[in-house]
Amino acid sequence: MEKKVNGNGLFRTPFSKDYWKAALGEFRDLKMLLFAALMIAVRVLLKGLKIPIAPSIEINTAFVANAFGAMIYGPLVALAGAVVSDTLGCILFPSGPYFFPFVFTEMASSLVFALFLYRTEVSTTRLTLARFCICLFVNILMSEPIFIWYYNWLHNPYTPFQILRIVKNLVMFPIESVVLTILFRYLIPPFKKQGYVQTGVSRLKFTKKHIAVLVSLVVIGTGATLGYLAWFYNTKTISSTYTAEDRQTKNLAMNEWINETYPDQDHEDQVTVIESATSKLFDPEVRYVLAVYRIDKAKFGEQALSNPEYSLETIYQYSKSPARKDEALIRIGEGNAVTGKFDNKQISIEINWLDTTEKENPET
């Protein structure tokens, strides 16, 4: 069923065959493609222009070009434009190694703006909801697994759901919504005269209702984010995000800490494995469950001969399950340790040493 309003080419929702036909038709409009190329260029240039608001919090003005372009040429051209602008932006304004999966967040942002703004009566509410969905679902939730993937690819440690990035999105959302509304009021009229848009600006104003919506969305976004963070930190182990290099570094550091704390123990051929690392939301400390092993040199040698990739480096990169399954390791101790979450300061460590006489001398 067609979903047009007043016969002027506007759609009430994007859930219409005609809506997507119109979006696909933009690829056949040379005027629209030239405009898309212009908006891609503006978007790329704006990636290098950031307006500081507070320490570590700034407005990246590229989202304005993204929103305005998506409103004019629709979701399909917007998706293609996101790929081009993200690639060019990384080349011209690199902030680290190019990592292709980040393009999916650019595409998602463009798609959300288009679904809310293309061929419809643009309003303050629509702009606000579009920016809210991008901040919460794209910038916070969707981007998280990509960040984990990225840092694993770099072999660098990464703390999931960094509070600063989440707070930044929640703080910037109402500010960016206001910026969009003000700029659209000035940008739409001249482009409407040129035939690029059909919407007007009569609904682009702030009322008490819109302020209430902004406040409500901030509260909802904050509550949803805190709830998800509480679930994540209370049910997931930080160690599940470690790369092999992370495990090696942290296992070696724990092993050295144990050696210093228990100098009277025999630490020859000792390996420490972090079995789990947890830290609840707002807890400034990380709590580790540790297992201490001694290498059985005879069995280690046998496994090394049968598997050329098996080495001491392999053992130092172990997590809980591989360590327990390795027959060359004899469990000699287990315990707990606590460090600072942000500064890695060593706070406490306690190991219960096990009697391993029978395991090491089974023939007796």
Portions of the chain given CATH number 1.10.1760.20: 4-236
CA-CA distance, 157 to 141, in Å (whole number)?
19
Whether this model's pTM surpasses 0.75: no
Q: So what's the pLDDT on residue 283?
A: 82
**Residue 89 near residue 47, CB atoms below 8 Å:** yes
> In this structure, which amino acid lies at residue 105?
T
pLDDT at position 36 over 90: yes
- Written out in words, the top-level CATH class of the domain with range 4-236 is mainly alpha
pLDDT at position 306 over 90: no
What pLDDT, in 10s, does the model give residues 141-189? 888 888 888 877 777 666 666 666 777 787 778 888 888 999 999 999 9
**Residue 352 near residue 334, CB atoms below 8 Å:** yes
CA-CA distance, 154 to 161, in Å (whole number)?
18
pLDDT at position 2 over 50: no
Q: How much is the average pLDDT of 274-284?
A: 85
